Chain A
Amino acid sequence: MNRYSIFLAVTDRTDRPDPAFAVTTFVVETGRVGEADERAASALDGLAPDATWPGLEPAVRREVVSRVRAVPHHMADHTEHDRAPARSASPLGDCLHSLATDGSFADIVTQPYTVYVAGGYPIDAAAPIPFLTDASAVHPDAEAHYPALARLTTLLASAAAFSIDAAAPDEEDLYDAFDRYTLGGLA
């Protein structure tokens, strides 16, 4: 059985004047992924489908953080491609390579895992990216499997800049809901 279920959300603005590329990852132990999806659905109940973290009122942010604390999880990560992504052959490959070789994630990918891609980003599962080719399975449609966890992962992507802001209060920081997390650039 797969040990981990790994949800990915890709932020890709490399076609804009201010290029930005990032991969946000949310990891759940596969044995609790169904429970996690149910709790995430409850935690995010009522959020507008297009809601982003900066667009929420502070009181709403605090309430969502409080609710999300109940979602079973292993860890969360947000990795920005901070080395000219527009000139990289594969910004996605760079981010996933960094994720798989640095910090706590390096231990996760030594165990069997399944990848779920949220937000409809067109990932080629056959691309020569070890993080993907080493997965037991890559599902490009996270929403069809675990819609609430897919939604939580895309919300985490929109919450990363807020979390990185040194002045952001902990109780409004979505990442503060989790036991393990990292936010930063390529290792």
Chain B
Amino acid sequence: MRRHILTGATAAACLLVPFQAHAVSGPAPAPQLSAAVWDKCEAALDSPHESHTNPDVINVHADLKGCKQKMPEYSISVTLYKEGQQVAHNTGSGKNKFKARVVANWPPPKGQCHDYSASATFTVTADGKAHSTTLTNHSQGKICIK
């Protein structure tokens, strides 16, 4: 069945039922931890979860968001662990941004179930001063790749 998305005031009322039915079929968003970094910007690290686009891959997202003004400089470093052992690491950095997201991901061998954790360090540098915070998060129980 084709679903149709409409613009205008009637869209939500007409389409709420099929849209909700579609939405609940996907994985729920991974719970996030967050902390203030600089100005109104916050750092956020979600719970390691199975990728939506690559079902055989474990993902964790590290975000800087919520800023009311652009971050003069930022950096994000995120590491994914399988039962305490590092399996993936990624970094991102840039200048003059409102928001940024970096991902660390890892494709475990099929048929394995593991607990995952992640740690990320976020830094915003403004007026020559570095503002940093580090967050750690855990998977919601074991994640099994079949």
Query: Residues of A with Cβ closer than 8 Å to B?
Result: 44-48, 50-51, 55-60, 62-64, 66-67, 69-73, 82, 102-104, 163-164, 166, 170-171, 175, 178-187
Known: A57-B12, A59-B19, A70-B53. A180 touches B99 (CB 8 A): no
B7→A51 contact, CB < 8 A: yes
- Report the Cα distance A67→B5, complex, angstroms: 12
Q: Which chain B residue has the least Cβ–Cβ distance from A187?
A: B95
A179→B105 contact, CB < 8 A: yes
Query: What is the total number of residues of chain B having a CB less than 8 Å from a CB of chain A?
Result: 44
- Report the Cα distance A34→B51, complex, angstroms: 19
Q: Which residues of B contact A164 (CB under 8 A)?
A: 98-99
A166→B40 contact, CB < 8 A: yes
B67 interface contact, C-beta 8 A: yes
B94 interface contact, C-beta 8 A: yes
- Report the Cα distance A93→B98, complex, angstroms: 21
Interface set, chain B 92-116, CB cutoff 8 A to A: 92-103, 105
- Report the Cα distance A82→B98, complex, angstroms: 12
Interface flags, B70-103, vs A, CB<8A=1, else 0: 1100000000000000000000111111111111
- Report the Cα distance A56→B94, complex, angstroms: 31
B94→A66 contact, CB < 8 A: no
B99→A56 contact, CB < 8 A: no
Interface set, chain B 36-82, CB cutoff 8 A to A: 40, 51-54, 59, 61, 65-68, 70-71
Known: A56-B7, A71-B53. A180 touches B103 (CB 8 A): yes
B68→A166 contact, CB < 8 A: yes
B11 interface contact, C-beta 8 A: yes
Apart from A45-B3, A70-B53, A187-B94, what are 11 other A-B pairs with CB-CB below 8 Å? A55-B7, A56-B5, A58-B12, A59-B16, A60-B11, A69-B26, A73-B53, A103-B92, A178-B101, A184-B98, A184-B99
Please list the 7 inter-chain residue pairs (A to B) with the smallest Cβ-Cβ separation, ordered nearest first.
Answer: A184-B97, A103-B94, A46-B4, A57-B12, A63-B19, A179-B103, A69-B52
- Report the Cα distance A1→B7, complex, angstroms: 40
